[in-house]
Amino acid sequence: MNEAMADLRVRWLGRMEFADALSLQEELLAQKREDRSLEDELLLLEHEPVYTIGRTPDKSSLLGSAHLPHPLFAINRGGQATYHGPGQLMGYPIIDLRRCGQDLHRYLRWLELLLIELLANYGITAWQREALTGVWIDHRKIASIGVGVRHWVTMHGFALNVCGDLSPFNYIIPCGINNVSMTSMEKETGKAFSVVDVARVFEKLALDRIIRLRIGQEAQPVNV
C-alpha cells in the first residue's frame, strides 16, 4: 500500500494480536506527543479473536466475563464491550486533532462518513443513527467506533465487519445496545470479500478525504 500522501501515512499490518497493536499505538502516540511535526498515521489490520471494553464502571455489556471464549482487554477508549477478530477490518488513526479544530465529534462523524462512502463503493447503503456512534444498515450494525484521545492525539478507531463469523458477538451485548443485530458486508450481499482488498479501498478514501477533516479548522486553546 502507498505509505505517504497528504501527510497521512497508511500502513497495512496484516493479522496481529490485540496487545501488539495496542503497544504500537502507544509507541506512535508517545512519539507524536514529543514531536508534533510527525505525520499522522492510519494503521489498518485484522485481529486475532479478542473482546474489548472501554473506560466505564458499567461492565454489564460483558454479561460477566468467565463465559467469554476469547481474551478480554479493558482499554482507554469510550464505549462498552465489543468483539474483534478475523474478517473484520480494524482502523487505528493516530491523528493530531489540533490540526482539525480540536473537535472530537467532528472526527467521529468523519470516520462514520468514510465508512459509509466505503460501503457505497460496494453497493451497500448505510448511514448514521442519531445519538448512536457507528454505521448502520436499518437497525443492523456493520461498523463500530470507539476512540481514545490523549493531548488531542487519537488512538483506537473503527471496526468494520467485512466477512467471517459473527457468533462471538452473541456472548456480549455489543456496544451495550440491547437487541442489536450485528451484520457484515458478506452477510448483507451474499458475496465474498477480502479484508485486505477492502483495506486498499479504505486507504484511498482516507488519503482523499483527510483534507475534509482539516480544512478551515483553527485550533482552540482547550486541553485534553
Span 40-72, pLDDT tens digits? 999 999 999 999 998 887 888 998 888 999 999
pLDDT digits (tens, 9 = 90+) for 80-123: 899 999 999 999 999 999 989 899 999 999 999 999 999 999 99
The residues annotated with a catalytic role in the active site are 175
Instruction: Say how far apart CA 197 and CA 156 lie, in whole Å.
Output: 21
pLDDT band at 4 (very low <50, low <70, confident <90, very high): very low
Instruction: Say how far apart CA 210 and CA 10 lie, in whole Å.
Output: 12
Q: Does residue 48 sit in helix, strand or coil?
A: coil
Provide mean pLDDT across the span 3-21.
Answer: 85
pLDDT digits (tens, 9 = 90+) for 182-223: 999 999 999 999 999 999 999 999 999 999 998 745 444 333
